[in-house]
Structure 1
Amino acid sequence: MMKKSILYSLVIFLSVFLGGCEKDEPMGYRGRPGVYFNGKEFSYTFAENPWKDVDTVLLPILLTGDLEDYDRKVKVVVVADSTTATGDMYELLEGTISAGSESGFVPVVVNSVQELEHKVVRLRVQIVENEDFKELDLVYPACNFTFTAQIIKPYNWSQLEYFFGPYSTGWWKFIMEKLGRTSLPYWDLFSPIPNPDPDKYDMSYYEMSNIQQMIRLELAEYNKHSTTGPMKHDDGDYAGKEIVVPAPW
């Protein structure tokens, strides 16, 4: 009888103790709505789309907090003292997190003005508080978006590097010329860097493997007939070094 009484008292004590813990538990971070950019640096060049005078670039954003069954707006502003782009070059639009989604985009309309043919400009974009999102002290509350009409290092070169090695302007021009295209929208499914736009970067590993082999053969053919030796990087960190296509994965 004594043992049962002690056991009963212990059960009551644990119930009260655990109940008290539940009452005192602070509200989880998951419940606070917030939003931030999925990266701190983005870039675009009209050289990828030379037939366009205007284009819309989607800067990816991510949600913290609960999903909702309605669309939510994301307010953004331009940080003037960190921006070199002029007003005629762009239009920054309101961002959106769609109903039921944990990600969204901030659209930037870019204009192919003549000045972009010989310079790269920067747009510094900052998320600011609104009625939908008040939590802003997150990973990347702001980002730098650079754009131009010149040939520049593709934004996804961190993914293309596995197939083509280090970037240089001449090497990228050679690849584009041999492929007859101005971009390779590939993003590795297992990349530690999240794909910022799956609808855009949708090329498969199989396609890229075939392209890599084609470029390998084109480079070998170029080197075979070159009168100045193997092709070398013309700029960047590897300027002056021979270009070598990495071995297949």
Structure 2
Amino acid sequence: MKKLIAISLVSWVLLMACKKQDNPLFQQPHDNIYFDFTDDEKSTRIDSFFYSFALYPEKSTDTIMLPVKVSGSRVHYDRWFKVKVIDSATTAQPGLHYKALDTAYKIPADSGGGFLPIIMYVADPALIDRSVTIKLQLISSSQLSNDFPAFDTAKITFSNRLEEPVWWAVWIGELGVYSRVKHELFIRTSGTTELQTDMSDWQSTPLTLFYIRQFRAFMMDPIGRTPDYKDKGYAIGQQDDGTYYFYNTGNPDKKYPLEFNSADGRYYFHDENGNRIVPQ
């Protein structure tokens, strides 16, 4: 997944782009604040970011740091900028999906920029089935104005679900029919979030097959293989009724229950539709 300039405190998975813009002019009668987002690969300005907690099972919260810059002079004292939520374009709820915004945010002394931290939460179970959006707009303060309307908004869309990647169809013979739960377990146990999108690069195929075999070995014996992932925070828990489940100690509320099948003496996961996930 390509990294953009928006930075997470503990992780960053940000995607997508908008349209090219010219850089703000610096010949202004007063100092201004603006969002500074650039896709380095395409030299394109962006204003939309996408994040999925499903990629990070150990996290119940995460922070996206949106970079802002000052157009104008640097000064030897802290300055403060303000931001508001555009309610008409926002579906996320403060307190439930994200931490409510502060009154103002600091641009450190002798600095030409800073960051706007947006703290997101994953507790809402509805995020497994839908995404929510926060749209933000910089507003003028007594110290910093907002005279660049083409650079004053940012949109963050996030969820706790995955979508079927292009590469799954390429390797469906090895992975089987797609499901979100299977995809999550693949990411947890394979050691990668991406596979080849075609089979033309024969030099990369052995590594791809290694990732797939790691996943399949775990699915064949999840309880026996879980200790191999202890250093990544994974463990097997047991409920009061004796049911085992796979989870990450960093986010114990996210559980993957295991069902024992007496016919073959093995444990199986189930997907989001209740179907047993059978290793290929």
- Equivalent in the alignment of 1:168: 166
Deviation at 1:220, TM superposition (A): 6.1
Query: What is the TM-score when the length of structure 2 is the normalising length?
Result: 0.47
- SS for the counterpart of 1:109 is strand
2:204 & 2:113 partners in 1: Cα distance? 36
- Equivalent in the alignment of 2:98: 90
Which letter maps to 1:74?
A: F
- SS for the counterpart of 1:52 is coil
- Equivalent in the alignment of 1:149: 160
1:45 & 1:70 partners in 2: Cα distance? 37
Aligned length: 156
- Equivalent in the alignment of 2:67: 60
- SS for the counterpart of 2:151 is coil
Which letter maps to 1:97?
A: I
Question: In the alignment, is residue 46 of structure 1 matched against residue 53 of structure 2?
Answer: yes
Q: Return the index of the structure with the highest Cα Rg.
A: 1
> 1:171-202 deviations in whole A, cap 9, x for unaligned?
8x59946762569xxxxxxxxxxxxxxxxxxx
- SS for the counterpart of 1:124 is strand
- SS for the counterpart of 2:70 is strand
Identity rate of aligned residues, in percent?
25
The runs of 5 or more residues in structure 2 that have no matched partner are: 1-25, 38-46, 170-182, 195-200, 213-280
- Does the C-alpha gap of structure 1 residues 46 and 169 become closer, same or farther in structure 2, counting only changes over 3 Å? farther
1:173-184 alignment to 2 at 5 Å?
176=187, 180=191
- SS for the counterpart of 2:33 is strand
8 Å Cα contact 2:82-2:138 kept in structure 1 = yes
> 1:179-237 deviations in whole A, cap 9, x for unaligned?
62569xxxxxxxxxxxxxxxxxxxxxxxxxxxx998543336799xxxxxxxxxxxxxx
8 Å Cα contact 2:55-2:187 kept in structure 1 = no
Deviation at 1:136, TM superposition (A): 2.9
8 Å Cα contact 2:191-2:211 kept in structure 1 = no
Greater relative contact order (Cα < 8 A, sep 6+): 1
8 Å Cα contact 2:139-2:146 kept in structure 1 = no
1:135 & 1:150 partners in 2: Cα distance? 36
Q: Which has the higher strand share?
A: 2
8 Å Cα contact 1:35-1:138 kept in structure 2 = no
- Equivalent in the alignment of 1:231: none
1:60 & 1:36 partners in 2: Cα distance? 9
- Equivalent in the alignment of 1:100: 110
Deviation at 1:122, TM superposition (A): 0.8
1:63 & 1:117 partners in 2: Cα distance? 38
1:134 & 1:168 partners in 2: Cα distance? 44
- Taking only aligned residues, the RMSD between alpha carbons, in angstroms, comes to 3.6
Moved over 4 A (4+): 173-179, 212-216, 220-223
Q: Which has the higher helix share?
A: 1
8 Å Cα contact 1:30-1:66 kept in structure 2 = no
- Equivalent in the alignment of 1:219: 208
> 1:6-40 deviations in whole A, cap 9, x for unaligned?
xxxxxxxxxxxxxxxxxxxxxx7166211111231
8 Å Cα contact 1:122-1:145 kept in structure 2 = yes
The runs of 5 or more residues in structure 1 that have no matched partner are: 1-27, 154-166, 184-211, 224-249
